[in-house]
Structure 1
């Protein structure tokens, strides 16, 4: 082939360099040569074949196939049972990271942080093409004007797990790392709240009787579903979906709702000892279980918190790493409690929606009427009225009698249930209409400006597609916001 390609005659001697070992042949031996093969060592017997290989799709043929072929031929064993193929990590513009492009991100710089000057030095020194240094420096200053902040290991690990969709290249976004650093902070702050309300108090580690509220039963039930989902997705190598399930439980259910819903009970001096003990026990045990679920994703912060929460939850041991993985228990599911608390959440969100739309301060207590209430709605109201009064800042709440007409009200729906807030005396109608008119005018100007730009053939023909898409999205958002405010103005004008 060489002779044909280069038109060489037989008089030219060709020989292979004796000093070169093919890289892929060498690495193809890796699964067994590193364990002492051809000797039948204890390491080889214990660790070959292994279970899972993790690799990028770009070297399946070069490496994975060769490991399978060489191991099968030389040992008679397939070297691994499962190959997990992930995408490549690319920069924020979707370009493959390379030193020549100056777009490489060192994970340690994201963990520890790096100044702009240090980053410039790192990206432009020792280049094979020094003439590109100025261009790379300009791009770096534009992308990281203040260098890179310190985000910590856990935030970076969680980011990569959340981005690990099957086979897809990962366009790395520093904003995602910042978001998951906020998640770490949320977990830390939630743990501090737990410690403030449980340390030095009875958390039900002995055999004293406990009573669980519907809020406690709901979060325990939600935890079971989260345990099942995280485990299922990890077993299927869907680290992104496992991370999403964990994130939604910790942030949306435990932190955003459970910690708020239990405050009235924890701080109610008239509550029974059994009920408060049940809530404190749930508070620490759900947190401890969530830490075990989160440990593979974010090992450092979970270990730190677990060391302090473990004794409160009746757990012992030197480290979280040696604790058993949480197991789904269907007997702890409570669909009735889930339904009741979802109703409470929807009720409170409806009241918040009205407050937001009508610009009613949270400091002002309001009256609420319920229309079209079923027997189930009335039961849920009776069981949760003290909680709703406290957290939704209600002056009163009652069900409209049959045939009773409601006054002029702002309305939100919880299924078929009408949550009605009488407007009399709550807002300065003229001032609110003036405020809305001003905001509608601003949005109208934005719609005309962006719409005019998109109607300009010169702009549409010359602008990049992503710029045009961004302008169209901006126009749609302004039009929707304007429509919402016009509907709100109409409701207030009718009061």
Structure 2
């Protein structure tokens, strides 16, 4: 069936197709939901400002990068967030899930720069800043909404009218305000420190943009700008001569080129080997620099020689040692990774070419001592794949100590809850030891820092040095800054010259104020009053500090309020083998390929279009062929969402197996068939009662299924409240599949058949129809938050209890409440559990004697009259579900006819299945004799093998365990065969 035009409700008058098709079901509901305004908090209300006794639920999306495309991590985030949002909406709360997109400074600039070079052969410098930014906006307007369309495919019920982009005017204004306030207060300041520097990007980058590549030893890695791979994972030892003596101090480093920037050697104060060198200097072999030997506790005496070279301008630990001992900070790298402030021949060399040259020069001068493999971690820029260099640069910083303490205290005092709580230790550890945050980036795309360096054109006023914070003034415009400066220096505004900082702010700065900037802060808006603070923040634990902690810190700092009350952190999605998702492994799957299906060839083609090198492409293809030999079948959005929620066990990573998602697609088919059958059973003229309630005439089957429905409602309610998603999915799955479909629908078939033949049974059938309708109505509403499409499709086919007043969509009906559906009965459940044990025992007996089509009489011998009475009440169910001819409960005194096969169901009931006259006894005995002989031979052979003298020494333990298990199974089977033969002999 072709999709409907946007905004039109799907055709639900025509009959349900014979089988479930995700494509058919998911074709047109979303545009209709959106058009009707169901996702807006205003829906069904005169004003969002009106108090809602049911409360307000607000959550903002973790804004995906504008460059991004959907991956399974996004799918997990959105499956969880949308399920929660839909649940709160169905509870009648004023509900807002606010969408947004992040401008992703570095990622977007890289994408557009590559496009510019590819299409026009130009760099951003060729274009100039203003024209380049116009190019980025053009790209954003053409391509930037792609991820929004993908989120809609996942059924995400976001209020798209409130979608925000972090570079929108409203959000940019908030970013400027936040910076200016914090700068004026001194919380933001300027300082010259070490930063993570990417020579390829020519920018400082945040810790989250640094991948830590672990090496076990010598490894050659590709580095942008170098034709040959560069050697890492080795430790080079060399000697510094001690000034005025014949002695030398041997030091070691994994970055030998940095010795050109050394300004000292450090040893431990307690190291006896170096006490005599206090106050001594070492000589640099390539220049006339004398460097002090300093004594510092940070040195590990047991590692190497116990002496460490100190390069304060190029290493984080060395920086602190340099500060403590007042060593020289010698910067030997420019922003492009070329050597500066070094003697010839190294001056102007590329850093990794200098690595080779310095090593050779040390050998030539007799200072080289040894080189050996060294396990290490190499910092790699996730955007450019360049090796990150610590570089000394003047940058803007946020002072975090006070804000960090407030964020930690909010959790300690219970005002902010983090779920699951095993993340608390990490939260406190990070915030209690927080470092100041470098927020400037040397990019063109982003929020330009609203700070200006002031020059006063008046000889009587000396403004001071560039690094002095007093002479950087921030403001929203040049006029505002000029006015501030004139006031500060007590001169006229025309004496002030300004130079705005060229840098932009770290993307996480604008993301940090996202929960309130989206509502118009710092202006007092209705949305800000109603929706801030939010209710919940749901995201992956990998951005706990980069985003979550910063939102908490900046929310408290700028608004005096926590941005949300709870933080729920989901796990990381891995593949079925527990491996991280990686393009080179071929296990990165686009959720849309799971939804619509893709061939193996299609998966291979995606690799060919990627940036992987040919070797990695081949490796990835092998991985795909192994995991998806037949490609990925069409699973649909509902099955994918259900699978992701079913996997989300708190605190554990998710090993996602596509075959399991396919299993939930089959579950959708089962739902489809169940509702199709049920609607046929209800009939065209069926009218549901106005309220779901017991009438007192329900059969034991009716009472049981309503009890199970109540239990499912309670479990779902508890699961959503505790963010225990597997509790919800298991409750729904078990109710629909194992209770409604497998038991209730089967057990009521005779009721409807009987009603057609016997008028007196029509009342029971009518009660049964009301029960069935309640199960469908409530069961679909339970399912709706997780499987929105199929639940809407099926719900729309059902008649309404109150056609004039019931909501038009399942997405805005009330979620089932355990107070309303309070029919749970432990007694009914216990009785039915016993009855199902009896049914399973009968089925097992039938299977033993291969009674696939033949029905047999079944005598249930009970130890007491109460059990016999219970089974009598359930006899129609037992007969139907066990495919028996007749079910006859007997008390202990009543004899069982001869010719029965016997099995014990429980200590209260023995099942006797009449086989006399149904099977050829002699033929069955002959078959069993053969089977008995085969089993005995196999067991004898196995026993001989296990009895050999060298068995325990030579045979692997795993094989021994398998042999023992095989013997146990054979013994059990042999006893069953003997028991069956004995039963047959009694019949002869």
Structure 2 matches for 1:165-184, cutoff 5 A? 165-184=649-668
Measured against aligned partners, the alpha-carbon deviations of 1:286-337 in whole angstroms (never above 9, x if no partner) come to 1110000000110101100000113379784311111111112465234444
Cα distance in 2 between the residues matched to 1:136 and 1:124: 10
Moved more, 409-418 or 44-53: 409-418
Query: By how many angstroms is 1:234 displaced?
Result: 0.8
Structure 2 matches for 1:231-250, cutoff 5 A? 231-250=717-736
1:215 maps onto 2:215 in alignment: no
SS in 2 for 1:36: coil
Structure 2 matches for 1:354-365, cutoff 5 A? 354-357=845-848, 359-365=849-855
Residue 383 (structure 1) aligns with = 873
Residue 94 (structure 2) aligns with = none
Q: 1:266 aligns with which of 746, 752, 769?
A: 752
Moved more, 372-381 or 132-141: 372-381
TM-score (norm 2): 0.45
Query: By how many angstroms is 1:176 displaced?
Result: 1.1
Residue 326 (structure 1) aligns with = 816
Residue 486 (structure 1) aligns with = 974
Cα distance in 2 between the residues matched to 1:306 and 1:59: 38
Cα distance in 2 between the residues matched to 1:473 and 1:190: 44
Measured against aligned partners, the alpha-carbon deviations of 1:382-409 in whole angstroms (never above 9, x if no partner) come to 3233443444323452415627476464
Residue 402 (structure 1) aligns with = 893
Q: Which has the higher contact order (CA 8 A, sep 6+)?
A: 2
Residue 807 (structure 2) aligns with = 317
TM-score (norm 1): 0.87
SS in 2 for 1:332: coil
SS in 2 for 1:53: strand
Q: 1:4 aligns with which of 312, 321, 331?
A: 312
Structure 2 matches for 1:65-76, cutoff 5 A? 65-76=549-560
Residue 346 (structure 1) aligns with = 837
- Aligned pair count reads 483
Structure-2 change in CA distance of 1:113 and 1:404 (3 Å): closer
Structure-2 change in CA distance of 1:412 and 1:52 (3 Å): same
SS in 1 for 2:631: coil
CA contact 2:903–2:910 (8 Å) conserved in 1 = yes
Cα distance in 1 between the residues matched to 2:971 and 2:845: 17
CA contact 1:89–1:96 (8 Å) conserved in 2 = yes
Cα distance in 2 between the residues matched to 1:260 and 1:313: 29
Structure-2 change in CA distance of 1:48 and 1:100 (3 Å): farther
Q: 1:277 aligns with which of 766, 771, 784?
A: 766
Moved more, 220-229 or 472-481: 472-481
More strand by share: 2
Measured against aligned partners, the alpha-carbon deviations of 1:409-458 in whole angstroms (never above 9, x if no partner) come to 42222342222235544443324305634874797699799999xx7988
CA contact 2:864–2:891 (8 Å) conserved in 1 = no
Structure-2 change in CA distance of 1:441 and 1:318 (3 Å): farther
Cα distance in 2 between the residues matched to 1:289 and 1:273: 24
SS in 2 for 1:94: coil
- How well do the aligned residues superpose, as a CA RMSD in angstroms? 3.3
Residue segments in structure 1 that go unaligned for 5+ positions in a row: 462-467
Structure-2 change in CA distance of 1:10 and 1:352 (3 Å): closer
CA contact 1:100–1:127 (8 Å) conserved in 2 = no
CA contact 1:288–1:313 (8 Å) conserved in 2 = no
CA contact 1:119–1:147 (8 Å) conserved in 2 = yes
CA contact 1:203–1:278 (8 Å) conserved in 2 = no
Cα distance in 2 between the residues matched to 1:26 and 1:447: 71
Cα distance in 2 between the residues matched to 1:449 and 1:69: 73
Cα distance in 2 between the residues matched to 1:38 and 1:68: 17
Structure-2 change in CA distance of 1:473 and 1:56 (3 Å): farther
Structure 2 matches for 1:34-433, cutoff 5 A? 34-205=518-689, 211-268=697-754, 269-270=757-758, 271-311=760-800, 316-328=806-818, 329=820, 331-357=822-848, 359-392=849-882, 393-395=884-886, 397-399=888-890, 402=893, 404=895, 407=898, 409-425=901-917, 426=919, 427=921, 428-433=923-928
Residue 366 (structure 2) aligns with = none
CA contact 1:371–1:417 (8 Å) conserved in 2 = yes
Residue 464 (structure 1) aligns with = none
Cα distance in 1 between the residues matched to 2:894 and 2:526: 84
Cα distance in 2 between the residues matched to 1:167 and 1:250: 28
CA contact 2:704–2:829 (8 Å) conserved in 1 = yes
Query: By how many angstroms is 1:105 displaced?
Result: 0.7
Measured against aligned partners, the alpha-carbon deviations of 1:107-154 in whole angstroms (never above 9, x if no partner) come to 000001112222112124232534311111122122212211110000
Structure-2 change in CA distance of 1:331 and 1:249 (3 Å): closer
Moved more, 362-371 or 228-237: 362-371
Residue segments in structure 2 that go unaligned for 5+ positions in a row: 1-192, 195-310, 315-327, 333-340, 342-391, 396-441, 443-501, 984-988
Please say which structure displays the higher CA radius of gyration. Answer: 2
More helix by share: 1
CA contact 1:366–1:396 (8 Å) conserved in 2 = no
SS in 1 for 2:582: coil
Structure-2 change in CA distance of 1:400 and 1:228 (3 Å): closer
Structure-2 change in CA distance of 1:28 and 1:448 (3 Å): farther
SS in 2 for 1:37: coil
Structure-2 change in CA distance of 1:459 and 1:92 (3 Å): farther
Structure-2 change in CA distance of 1:193 and 1:446 (3 Å): farther
Structure-2 change in CA distance of 1:480 and 1:321 (3 Å): farther
CA contact 2:751–2:761 (8 Å) conserved in 1 = no
